[in-house]
Structure 1
Amino acid sequence: MTSIQQTIDQLQLLRSELSHRIEAIETDVHHREEPVEKDFAEQVTQRENDDVLSAIDEEAQQTVFLIDAALARIEDGSYGRCASCGEKIPAARLAALPYATTCVSCAE
């Protein structure tokens, strides 16, 4: 069984890792403001890479938001309860996805 402090530590570590990833992606995207390649194929490749980086950045930012919400639920005592039905979220689900807001039934 995972203690609340272990969960907090896990969430904070994940948040830190994602924040570093977001920072690296944003640094990479900003360096792309350099002049575009003259080669059309290279321009297409750069555009595709930018699209992938943007999608990864968006997902990381959403996960950070969910982590912050989970930390707030820990603080207010509602962590581990399904936001939809109010039942307890199984420990296995929280171990796999510590920022889960719903039980498996409600998530489906």
Structure 2
Amino acid sequence: MQDPNPDGDSRRIELDMQAAQLRDRIERVHLHRLLNAPLEDAYSESLSERANQPVLDELEASLAEQLQQVKRARQRIAEGAGDYCEHCGERIGIDRLKALPYATSCLSCASHSAPA
């Protein structure tokens, strides 16, 4: 399938920028963990940091999932299938792609399954 989107280059650029931003955010979560590691003798600080751990874990998982979606969309564009739903094969609406450049499914399929 040939990608008929005349704006495919700008979408690839947008996806590349999103990927870089997501990698940067993941790195900042890692740095936060390193720089704010609780000290053994600071019991109250240690409890506070442990309380924040699930939030950091969830944030990191969400960022990693978004990065995988961006990579998948970029791969589909390279294969020439970036404008087509990976579930039903119909064209993904341009408005959806503008709002969610890493979408790999049409709005109809997305509303019946997992996002993007």
- What is the TM-score with the length of structure 1 in the denominator? 0.87
Listed as ranges, the gaps of 5+ residues in structure 2 are 112-116
Please say if 1:23 is aligned against 2:27: yes
Q: Which residue of 1 aligns with 2:80?
A: 77
Q: How far apart, in 1, do the equivalents of 2:73 and 2:110 lie?
A: 16
Residue identity over aligned pairs, in percent, reads 29
Runs of 4+ aligned residues of structure 1 deviating over 4 Å after TM superposition are none
Root mean square deviation, CA, Å: 1.8
Q: How far apart, in 2, do the equivalents of 1:2 and 1:92 lie?
A: 14
Give the alignment partner of residue 105 of structure 1, picking from 91, 98, 108: 108
Give runs of aligned pairs for residues 19-98 of structure 1, distance below 5 A: 19-36=23-40, 37-39=42-44, 42-98=45-101
Q: Which residue of 1 aligns with 2:10?
A: 6
**29-38 or 11-20, which moves further after superposition?**
29-38
Listed as ranges, the gaps of 5+ residues in structure 1 are none
- What is the TM-score with the length of structure 2 in the denominator? 0.81
